[in-house]
Each structure stands twice: as C-alpha cells, then as structure tokens.
C-alpha cells in the first residue's frame, strides 16, 4: 500500500522559495534566511570581504609540492639577522640562519627582491618538483656551499710531461733494429754500448765512466745488467759474451759458444741467456766453469728479443722469423709458439702485475702489440700502433706500459692497460727509437735512437704518490755528452 505522505509530496508543486527539511513539529518559516538578519550579515561579510584571494594559476602536477620561494618569513617568526634589535647576540641566530637557508635556499639580492615583492602572496603554491644535486650531502638537498661544506675535487687525469728532462749525446750509437745497447741497473747506473766501447753513466752523480774497449775489430751488440749486484754482460759481434764487474771496471770472464753476433741478453738470477744471429739461444750459469749449460733451438732466423718472466720460470724469445717462443727452465724446445706477428719480434715485456701476461711487438710489416696469457696459452688482444714496434716495457708502479717506435713516426707511447688508451705520445727523436730502459724506481725511462741521443722522460708515477718526482728526474736539466 502506498504511503500517503509520499503521495502528497508527489502531488505538490516545486516551491518558489527555498525551504528547509525540518521536523514537522517545528515551523519551517522560522528557518528562512530573511528571518536571520545577524547570520545574513555575517555571510555577506565573508562573501564581499576585501580579503586577497589567490590568483588562478596553472597546476603543473597532481601532487601537492610546495614552493617556498614566495614565502613570507614574518609568518615563521624567523629574523633576517642573527642579532636582535637591541644589538645583543641571539644565541639561536646561527640556527635560524641555517634553518632559513635549508627551508628557503641561500639569500641572494635577486631572491630578496623577489621575496619583498611577493610578501603578500600565499605561502604555498603548486609547482613541479625541484631538481636537486645528486652529490649534495645536505638532508635538505641544498648545495654544500650553503652550509660551508667543501669537498676534495675530482682528481684530474695524470699528466705526462711531453718533453725530456735530460738529453745526452751518444756518438756512434748504432741505428740497428736487432741490437740492444742500453740497460739501467738496480744501482741506478746506465750502461750504453757506443761502437766498440761500453760507457757507464751514474744517474745520481751524472758521472761518466768508460768500462771497456773491445778493440777496432770488434763491436758491442748488447748489454744487460744482472738483476742484483754490479755485473754487466756484454755481447759482441764476434759471438762472445763478456762478464764485467762495473764496481772495479774489470772483466770477470769471457764465454764462447755462438758463431755470430750476440744481439740479445737476459738474466735470471745467476743464469744468463744469450741470443745470436746463429739462430740459437745459450743458457749459461756464470758460476759453472762451462761456457754454457744448454742450447735452445727453434728459431729460423736471428734471435733479437729475450726476456725472463718476473718469477724466473719462463723465457720469452723473439726472432727475425716473426715468431714468439716461450721456454721453461728445463726445456730445449719451445713449450709455446706464437706465429701471429707478420714481422720481426724484438719488443717483448712480461707484466709485473699479472702472472703469465706477456706483451710482444712486431716490426715494420706488422706494427702490432699483442698480448698473450701463457698460463692458458691464449691470445688476448691486438693493438695496431701504425708504426714499427721497437721496444716494450711495463711499469711496476701502475698497470701501464711504454712502447717505442720506428718507421714512420719515431714516437714513444704511454698506454693504459687493459683498455690500451693512450696516456701520452712523446716525440723528439728524429730516427727510430731503437733502445729503451727503465729506472730502478720505475718512474723514468731512457730512450736511444740513431740520431745519437739518449733522452730521459718522466712517464710513470711513484708507487706512493702520482705527483712525486723521482730523484733522477729532479737532477739538473740540459744537454751533455756520455763520453
């Protein structure tokens, strides 16, 4: 059955004046607005008031992110000065300054003018999120300069001097790719073969000493210092190897065995290896009376590169047959053979940082530096240098190496391994840079060329500091002669 009340409501017409839904026991007329003058006046005062309204602005985000750039500081009771109006120091002034900087950013003239102009504006407004520095240490995301925080700047890449700090004249220094005429001892003495003589240059005192003269019918083809002590091995064009005591300038012994010139020498403790144009390698124990203990055969042309690994377990040899061989202490045949080079392999260097890492460089027709892992017998990588590779040496202080070059650019390149990015390219020699040695502190290299000069370069950092100059590099600059 229908509700009569609802039926009556449906039959009623829409009233012309608004009415309130009130209980039936109360009079509807008592709640009309015209009967409430006091309330009407209050509402009209709110509607028609002269209060400032917030202007219409474009909303950039649906998130409520306040922007405090237009804030009125007076509302927060934060003074602009750390001191009170009475001139007395306010104990919370420093705190207020930091708080204001954290909330509203640093005070600048432009910002102060902006704040004065917008003092009557609302405290908050809608705005896109502010980007903050990723390197800020402030919990408020401010620049560190606001709070007086300073940080050590990012260290710039190491700079390698582009000029040699010393140049020595070396008359009669031969322009022969297959010889090895320069070596630097652990006692900081440089040995150089000039014609038929060997000269010693003391890097600490710059004193030059003539060690030996082989005579007019013979010439120096290679020099190599023992790893410790003052013994120097000298390979001759007659196929002999002489052992000299540099401290007394006396010859200790002469060892034979090769039929042709000895262009490569390498020490392993008391064991001395010699490579010759007769294609053979002789292993000599200078403590034994015999001239040599064993003969290594494998190369089909002159042996021009020899290097023992740092653990004295492996010997690498390079020849004019474009081959790179690796021998162990007891083998008479190579245990590893690498045939990827397309020219003579004179440049050989073992890494002091990674066991079994070997670098080799090819001649004019090859121009490549190749890296090998002799532990796994793998070819790691190859870098085309664009010119003949004459020498290689690793830094013992950092994982970098130096290569010297001949045709056609005669340059010296400092490489970072394993990326093989160039740290520096050094020029100055006018002939092929055929000779290379490194100082005992590992910071300085000396290069020799057919232009009859020896040039000293500071290329590697010290083990402790990359900015500390070596004692050698700190010596007097200038150009002198080695004899």
Q: Tell me, what DSSP letter sits at residue 180?
A: B
Q: pLDDT band for 157, please (50, 70, 90 cuts).
A: confident
Least confident range of 38-47, 148-157, 277-286, 334-343: 38-47
Q: What is the mean pLDDT of residues 349-363?
A: 97
Each residue's pLDDT tens digit, 235-269: 999 999 999 999 999 999 999 999 999 999 999 99
Give the SS3 label for residue 131.
Answer: coil
Q: What is the mean pLDDT of residues 319-333?
A: 95
The distance of Cα 118 from the centroid of its chain, to the nearest Å, equals 51
Q: What is the mean pLDDT of residues 114-132?
A: 48
- Residue 9 has φ and ψ, to the nearest 5°, of -65, -35
More confident call, 6 vs 223: 223
Q: How far is CA 202 from CA 231, 247, 393, 417, in A?
A: 15, 12, 21, 31
How many CA atoms lie less than 13 Å away from 153 in the CB half-sphere?
3
Q: What is the mean pLDDT of residues 126-140?
A: 47
383 DSSP β-pair partners: 369
Asked if pLDDT for residue 432 goes beyond 90, the answer is yes
Q: pLDDT band for 24, please (50, 70, 90 cuts).
A: low
> How many degrees, rounded to 5, is the angle at CA 381 between CA 380 and CA 386?
155
Q: How many CB atoms are located within 10 Å of the residue 422 CB?
A: 11
**Token output for 371:** 């890296």
Residues 193-214: b if buried by 16+ CB within 10 A, e if exposed: bbbbbbbbbebeeeebeebbeb
The distance of Cα 476 from the centroid of its chain, to the nearest Å, equals 29
Q: CA 122 to CA 391: how far, in whole Å?
A: 75
Least confident range of 39-53, 272-286, 445-459: 39-53
Q: CA 203 to CA 309: how far, in whole Å?
A: 26
Give the SS3 label for residue 75.
Answer: helix
pLDDT score recorded for residue 58: 56
255 DSSP β-pair partners: 241
Each residue's pLDDT tens digit, 47-97: 454 444 555 555 555 566 666 666 565 655 555 544 444 444 555 678 888
Each residue's pLDDT tens digit, 439-460: 999 999 999 999 999 999 999 9
pLDDT score recorded for residue 377: 97
Non-local (6+) Cβ contacts of 279 within 8 A are 297, 299, 300, 301, 302, 303, 319
pLDDT score recorded for residue 103: 73
> How many degrees, rounded to 5, is the angle at CA 342 between CA 340 and CA 347?
85
pLDDT score recorded for residue 389: 97
Q: CA 457 to CA 459: how far, in whole Å?
A: 6
Q: What is the mean pLDDT of residues 218-228?
A: 96
Q: How many CB atoms are located within 10 Å of the residue 317 CB?
A: 25
């Amino acid at each position: 059955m229908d509700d009569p009340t609802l039926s009556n409501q449906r039959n009623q017409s829409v009233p012309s004046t608004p009415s309130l839904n009130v209980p039936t026991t109360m009079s509807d007329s008592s709640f009309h607005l015209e009967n409430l003058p006091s309330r009407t006046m209050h509402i009209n005062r709110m509607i028609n008031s002269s209060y400032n309204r917030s202007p219409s602005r474009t909303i950039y985000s649906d998130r409520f992110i306040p922007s405090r750039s237009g804030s009125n500081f007076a509302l927060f009771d934060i003074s602009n000065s750390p001191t009170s109006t009475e001139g007395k120091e306010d104990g919370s002034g420093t705190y207020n300054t930091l708080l204001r900087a954290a909330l509203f950013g640093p005070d600048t003239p432009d910002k102060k003018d902006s704040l004065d102009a917008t003092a009557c504006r609302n405290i908050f407004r809608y705005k896109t999120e502010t980007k903050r520095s990723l390197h800020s240490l402030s919990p408020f995301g401010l620049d560190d300069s606001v709070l007086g925080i300073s940080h050590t700047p990012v260290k710039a890449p190491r700079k390698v001097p582009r000029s040699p700090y010393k140049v020595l004249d070396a008359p009669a220094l031969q322009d022969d790719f297959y010889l090895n005429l320069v070596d630097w001892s652990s006692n900081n003495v440089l040995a150089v073969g000039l014609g038929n003589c060997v000269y010693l240059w003391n890097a600490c005192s710059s004193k030059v000493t003539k060690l030996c003269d082989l005579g007019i019918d013979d010439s120096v083809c290679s020099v190599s210092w023992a790893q410790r002590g003052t013994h120097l091995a000298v390979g001759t064009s007659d196929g002999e190897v002489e052992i000299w005591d540099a401290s007394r300038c006396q010859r200790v012994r002469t060892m034979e065995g090769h039929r042709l010139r000895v262009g490569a020498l390498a020490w392993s403790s008391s064991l001395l290896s010699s490579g010759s144009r007769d294609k053979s390698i002789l292993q000599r124990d200078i403590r034994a009376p015999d001239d040599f203990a064993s003969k290594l055969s494998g190369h089909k042309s002159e042996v021009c590169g020899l290097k023992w690994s740092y653990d004295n377990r492996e010997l690498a040899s390079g020849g004019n047959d474009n081959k790179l061989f690796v021998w162990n202490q007891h083998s008479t045949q190579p245990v590893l053979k690498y045939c990827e080079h397309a020219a003579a392999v004179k440049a050989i260097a073992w890494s002091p940082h990674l066991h079994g890492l070997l670098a080799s460089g090819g001649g004019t027709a090859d121009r490549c530096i190749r890296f090998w892992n002799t532990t796994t017998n793998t070819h790691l990588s190859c870098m085309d240098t664009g010119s003949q590779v004459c020498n290689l040496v690793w830094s013992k202080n950092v994982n970098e190496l130096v290569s010297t070059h001949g045709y056609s650019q005669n340059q010296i390149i400092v490489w970072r391994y394993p990326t093989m990015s160039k740290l520096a390219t050094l020029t100055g020699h006018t002939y092929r840079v055929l000779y290379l040695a490194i100082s005992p502190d590992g910071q300085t290299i000396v290069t020799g060329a057919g232009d009859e000069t020896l040039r000293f370069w500071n290329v590697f950092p010290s083990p402790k500091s990359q900015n500390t100059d070596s004692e050698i590099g700190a010596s007097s600059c200038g150009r002198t002669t080695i004899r």
